[in-house]
Each structure stands twice: as C-alpha cells, then as structure tokens.
Amino acid sequence: MAEVYGLDVKAKVLGNGLKVVVLEDHSTPTATFQVWYKVGSRNEVSGRTGISHLLEHMMFKGTEKYGPGEFSKVVARNGGVENAFTSRDYTAYFENWASDRLKVSMELESDRMRNLTLDPQEFEREKQVVMEERRLRTEDDPVSLLVEEVFATAYKVHPYHWPVIGWMSDIKSITLEDLKRHYKTYYAPNNAVVVVVGDVDAQQVFRQMEKYFGALSKGEEPPPVASVEPPQRGEKRVTVVGAEARLSFVMLAFHVPSINSGEEYALAVLTNILGEGKSSHLHQRLVYEEKAAVFTSAHYQGMSKDPGLLYLYAGLVPGRSPKDVEVVIREEVVKMKRGEFTTRELEKAKNQVKAAFIYGLDSNFYRAMNMGKLEVLGVGWEYMQTYVKKIGMVTRDDVVRVAKKYLKDTNLTVGILVPEKNL
C-alpha cells in the first residue's frame, strides 16, 4: 500500500512570490482551485478582532471589474461550487468545478487578490450579516460559548485568546480604513499559496498562473506575530452559566506544542488512545462504565501555526455532576502518564491514522485542503508524505513522555458549562 502515500506534487514560485502547488489526478474531469492567504485571527490585535473573517466576507463584494455578487454569479453559471473559510492561522477561498473552468478561477481570484473595491455601504451591511453569524454560531450556542471562554482563559497574551469571528463590539467598531489596511498588508501574491488538484496538466497550470497572476505586484513582507504565550503557572478554571443550556459539559484543555515541534506525532497518538472514538479510554470509562456521559471526545490542535491546545470533553447524562466527571477524566489522564495502556491500543491509534489518511485521499477537495494548510503553516505539502510513517514510529515511551510533560495541572484550564436551570 506504500504507493498511495507518495504524491506526485509539482510546485513553482512565481516572480512575485506566489507559490503554486499542483497535484494531477485524472480520475474524474474535475478540479479544485484554492487560494490560501497567510492571515487569520492570529494576525489581529485587540479592538479589531474578527477583521480577517470580515474581510473574507467582503471578498465577495466586488472589484472594479466584477461588481458585488458578480463573482458568485459567474461561478454558479459555470457549474462551480465556491466558498471561503477563515481560521486562526489562514483564510482560504475555493472553487470546485469541471477542470476546463480553471481559467475562470484564475481570472476571478487574481482580480480580487489586489483589486477589491471595499465599498462603505456594502461594508456596513456585511457587518450586520457577520453579527448575525456570531449570534447563530456562538451567542445562542452554550457549548460554543464555553469553548470561547476556555480559549480566552487558557491564552492571556497570544492572539489565540480571541475567537476567529471576533468579539461583538469589535465587529461593530471596525472601520473601513482598518479593513483596507488589513487587505493591503496581507492580500498579496507573496503572502499566498495557490493549490490545484484534479484533472489538469501541471505545466499548463504554471503557464496560465503566470499569465493571470504573474503581473500582480509583490507586497511588503507582513509583520510577524510577536506575542508569545508565557508558560502557565497554575491551573485555571472558568464556568459558563448557560441560560438555554440543558446538559452540563466539562472540558479540560492543556497547552501543547503543535506542528513541526517533533512531538506532534506522539501527542496525536496520545489523544487518540485517550479520547478518540468509542474504544478510547474516556468513552469506555465515562459512557460504558460510569454511565455518566452521553458523549466524550478529544481533540489535539496539531495543525496549528503556534502552540495550540489538547482538549478533552464530555457531555453529561442529566443528573450527573460535572465535578465527578472531571475527577474521572483526571484519573484517565494520570493513567496515560503511568503508561497504563496496551500495545494493541498503540497499534490501534496508528491503524486509525493510516486508514483516515487513505479515506481522505478520495476527494480532490480534501487533498488540496491538507496541502494548502501545510503550505501556509510553513511545513509544506511534503509533510503529508511522511506523516503516516512518523506516526508509525511513535513508541510507548514517546506517548508517556509527552503525557508527563504536557498533561500537568499547572498547564491545565478547566471549563464547566452549567445549565442555569440546575442552579
């Protein structure tokens, strides 16, 4: 099966610094075109949080050449599916369509990389839309509110402190001038990567990219993110009382290193054994044995530019106490530090990573997503080639070592969601 890990990716950097990464796959006559900008909420400052996401919305509001909404119309009438997303580390735009439509992507995306109109009236209206998005995703969702609080508590200095969508008052007060500056600083060929996966010829893509993007002017080097989260000195706790919450929810989050630290593979295996899937320790203990949780999970933010969090959580069976569940989760954490897991569980984690990798190869879109993410995170698409192999090399000692090093009380933030009705 080794052959599926080897991806024949071709890459080229244009004169203005734009990197183009292409993977040919001729199995269906479709392709995805993705533009990844190295900007997200980590590049923001207090008072203007959410500006990257707001800018993503404004990218659909037109240029001199294509008016508001025209971009989407052109994509739709060419049978394309488009959208965009903003994260803490990047902002990306994509069109999926028949591979012979790629030139339309290039025409449209090269235009909005540098020539966005940023009209004041469109801007005011879009702020309303984004505020509605925040109400929908966060304000009226008790678990989202808890997650937001846990991040805001765990990070005090680094911009991961605030949510990608931004604080409501910041969304309201960001000005068009702020937005123009943000656009000018971060939307430039030298701060972007284009990923193409599908039924294409790489050399032809490079030629066409030169034609459409080659003349775009290079921007100044964007400023680096200076803030570094200092080591945590003791356990932190935060409680959210949810007016509309019905279930209690417990979350334990630890600061951990992320991509390219060398420790991400062991941390991924640790997370898997501890909390991923029904066979994980948390599920077996809290759902099957204690009958205290409706669901449990674990997540490791390994694909993160700066150090992220490893978090464990459980939604409680009505009537069970968050305190008891927290105690059980802590016990399971201690067991990992003592190496109380089987060799078969170690193999299971590796098998799951391998299988998930193969399942993920089935879609042009997800392959391009992974390549784009790795490019903007700075490790490059090549990271994919070795990931499964490196996971395969993780030993029991590695897992115990990272568990001891990072799953410490002094490095922990505990978040509890309490339904108001239970008080």
Q: Which of 157, 327, 334, 355 binds another protein (CB under 8 A)?
A: 355
Task: Say whether residue 235 binds another protein (CB under 8 A).
Answer: no
117 by Cβ neighbours in 10 Å (0-12 / 13-18 / 19+) ranks as: middle
- Span 306-335, contacts to another protein by CB under 8 A: 315-318
Q: Which residue carries 């490791």 as its tokens?
A: 300
End-to-end Cα spacing for the chain: 56
| Shortest spacing between CB 18 and another protein, in angstroms | 19
Task: Say whether residue 203 binds another protein (CB under 8 A).
Answer: no
Q: Which of 42, 48, 354, 373 binds another protein (CB under 8 A)?
A: 354
Comparing CB distances to another protein, the nearer of 45 and 358 is: 358
Q: Which of 348, 373, 383, 402 binds another protein (CB under 8 A)?
A: 348
Q: Which of 243, 327, 334, 393 binds another protein (CB under 8 A)?
A: 243
Amino acid at 213: F
Comparing CB distances to another protein, the nearer of 4 and 13 is: 4
Please give, one letter per residue, the 3-state secondary structure of 107-158.
Answer: HHHHHHHHCECCCHHHHHHHHHHHHHHHHHHHHCCHHHHHHHHHHHHHCCCC
- Span 271-300, contacts to another protein by CB under 8 A: 277-279, 283-284, 287-288, 291, 294-295
Q: Which two tokens stand for residue 165?
A: 């969508």
Task: Say whether residue 146 binds another protein (CB under 8 A).
Answer: no
- Span 362-381, contacts to another protein by CB under 8 A: 362-364
Comparing CB distances to another protein, the nearer of 323 and 359 is: 359
| Shortest spacing between CB 103 and another protein, in angstroms | 4
Task: Say whether residue 121 binds another protein (CB under 8 A).
Answer: yes
| Shortest spacing between CB 89 and another protein, in angstroms | 23
Comparing CB distances to another protein, the nearer of 73 and 323 is: 73
Q: Which of 6, 217, 234, 344 binds another protein (CB under 8 A)?
A: 344
Task: Say whether residue 229 binds another protein (CB under 8 A).
Answer: no
Dihedral (CA of 319, 321, 322, 328) sign? negative
Comparing CB distances to another protein, the nearer of 129 and 215 is: 129
Q: What is the DSSP string of 145-208?
A: HHHHHHHHHH-SSSGGGS-TT--HHHHHH--HHHHHHHHHHH-SGGGEEEEEEES--HHHHHHH
Amino acid at 162: W
Among 44, 56, 82, 148, the active-site one is: 56
Q: How far is CA 208 from CA 24, 202, 212, 404, 411, in A?
A: 15, 10, 6, 52, 50
- Span 80-119, contacts to another protein by CB under 8 A: 80-83, 96-98, 100-101, 103-104, 107, 117, 119
User: Is residue 75 a contact partner of residue 104, using CB atoms and an 8 Å limit?
Assistant: yes
Is 244 marked active-site?
no
Comparing CB distances to another protein, the nearer of 15 and 67 is: 67
Task: Say whether residue 159 binds another protein (CB under 8 A).
Answer: no
Comparing CB distances to another protein, the nearer of 229 and 290 is: 290
| Shortest spacing between CB 98 and another protein, in angstroms | 4
Q: Which two tokens stand for residue 127?
A: 């702020």
Q: How many C-beta atoms surround the C-beta of residue 6 within 10 A?
A: 9
Task: Say whether residue 340 binds another protein (CB under 8 A).
Answer: no
User: Is residue 295 a contact partner of residue 314, using CB atoms and an 8 Å limit?
Assistant: yes
Comparing CB distances to another protein, the nearer of 181 and 278 is: 278
Q: Which residue carries 């890990």 as its tokens?
A: 5
Q: What is the DSSP string of 16-54?
A: TS-EEEEEE--SSSEEEEEEEES-SGGG--TTSTTHHHH
| Shortest spacing between CB 193 and another protein, in angstroms | 22
299 by Cβ neighbours in 10 Å (0-12 / 13-18 / 19+) ranks as: middle
How far apart are the C-alpha atoms of 308 and 185, rounded to whole Å?
Answer: 25
Q: How many C-beta atoms surround the C-beta of residue 58 within 10 A?
A: 23
| Shortest spacing between CB 260 and another protein, in angstroms | 25
**Would you please indicate which residues are annotated as catalytic (active-site) residues?**
56
